[in-house]
């Protein structure tokens, strides 16, 4: 694996894991928006797991794609107001 691809895959894995930890659902869980927030988190976590599976299978391209998709789900959820995130983070576009 090229050094650039390895570095980028490492960075995106960390970024997605950190983003999952930082995202705090805003709407109550028993509301439609709360369900949507839970779905977004579930998708992001699934993509993180998929990426780790691809890495274990020595498939960094699909690992990076998985991390990117998972991050995209979370970032979209933040932009839609489903999640509160710390003001001092650069993990999300707000």
Residue 65: per-residue pLDDT: 97
Q: Which residue ranges make up each domain of the chain?
A: 3-84
CA distance 9 to 58: 12
pLDDT in tens, the chain (94 residues): 588 999 999 999 999 999 999 999 999 999 999 999 999 999 999 999 999 999 999 999 999 999 999 999 999 999 999 998 887 777 776 5
Q: Which two tokens stand for residue 33?
A: 């928006």
The reported pLDDT for the residue numbered 89 is 74
pLDDT at residue 1, rounded to an integer: 55
Instruction: For 58-79, give the secondary structure using H, E and C.
Output: CCHHHHHHHHHHHHHHHHHHHH
Percent helix, percent strand, percent coil in the chain, to nearest 5: 70, 5, 25
Say what the pLDDT of residue 3 is.
80
Instruction: Return the DSSP state at 82.
Output: S
pTM for this structure? 0.89
CA distance 7 to 11: 6
Q: Could you say which of 1.50.10.10, 1.10.260.40, 1.10.443.10, 1.20.1270.90 is the CATH number of the domain covering 3-84?
A: 1.20.1270.90
Contact 66, 55 (CB under 8 A): no
Q: What pLDDT does 27 receive?
A: 95
């Amino acid at each position: 694996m090229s050094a650039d691809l390895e570095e980028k895959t490492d960075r995106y894995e960390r970024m997605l894991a950190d983003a999952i930890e930082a995202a705090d659902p805003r709407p109550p869980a028993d509301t439609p928006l709360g369900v949507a927030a839970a779905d977004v988190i579930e998708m992001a976590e699934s993509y993180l797991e998929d990426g780790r599976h691809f890495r274990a299978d020595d498939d960094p391209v699909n690992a990076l794609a998985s991390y990117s998709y998972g991050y995209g789900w979370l970032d979209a959820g933040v932009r839609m107001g489903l999640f509160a995130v710390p003001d001092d983070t650069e993990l999300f576009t707000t």
